[in-house]
Amino acid sequence: MSKKIILLVGSPRRQGNTMTVSQWVAEGATAAGADVRLVDVTKLNGIGHGCLSCYRCQKSTEYRCSQKDEVTELLLSLSGYDTICFATPVYFFSFSSQLRSVIDRMLSLIKYNGAGEMQTPLRCSQLALVATAGDTEEQSGVDSMRLSLSHFVDYFHLPAVESLFFGSCDKPADMRANVEARGQSIAFGKKLAMD
């Protein structure tokens, strides 16, 4: 059975560097036999609404955010994927606000049983990060995103995060013409499909 991979792309620039790299990653994963879904989260109804901290999701028996929008439907679908890949430009040393709102609402995907043990419908075997930035890796803040996801994988008892980063990105047309970046992205997609 082929691996199921979802790429959650959180770039408001629909033809920007992050989307280009994400499409190449999807191309590589598909070529390696994976079933790939690429979601532009910036287009989802409700993307501007982060977690409300209402805790209705924790009082319910369902793993469901209480907000009625497309983000909730997306979250419900995540349990069907082996790999969840977060793709984002680095904005002020972190994820884009659009992607951050999806990540924050993943609180609805956990519950604690009577023994205090965390339960989740997520069956993913790995998380991945694709990030682009205008600055270098050292100066961009991508390490803060990797650290954030490392806490996530510790909490959910998942393997270490795979990541792909391109820094010093400028014009999207330059990225689209970058043969080396395309090759690295396709190879990364293939690796996600094979791991």
pLDDT (tens digit per residue) in 15-45: 999 999 999 999 999 999 999 999 999 999 9
Are the CB atoms for 102 and 11 separated by under 8 Å? no
Whole-prediction pTM value? 0.94
Residue 181, pLDDT score: 97
Q: How far is CA 94 from CA 97, 131, 139, 140, 157, in A?
A: 9, 10, 12, 9, 23
Are the CB atoms for 163 and 131 separated by under 8 Å? yes
Mean of pLDDT values over 98-102: 95
Report long-range pairs for 114-121 (Cβ below 8 Å, ≥24 apart): 118/155, 118/156, 120/63, 120/156, 121/63, 121/79
Structure tokens at 99: 């992607």
Mean pLDDT lowest for which of 4-8, 33-37, 104-108, 155-159? Answer: 155-159
Mean pLDDT lowest for which of 7-21, 69-83, 93-107, 144-158? Answer: 144-158
Q: Which domain holds residue 66?
A: 4-194
Q: Is the dihedral of CA 135, 191, 22, 86 positive or negative?
A: negative
Are the CB atoms for 75 and 109 separated by under 8 Å? yes
Mean pLDDT, the chain, integer: 92
- What's the residue count for the chain? 195
66: CATH? 3.40.50.360
**Total structural domains in the chain?**
1
Residue 182 has pLDDT above 90, yes or no: yes
Are the CB atoms for 118 and 112 separated by under 8 Å? yes
Give the pLDDT band of residue 108 (cuts 50, 70, 90): very high
Structure tokens at 58: 């924790």
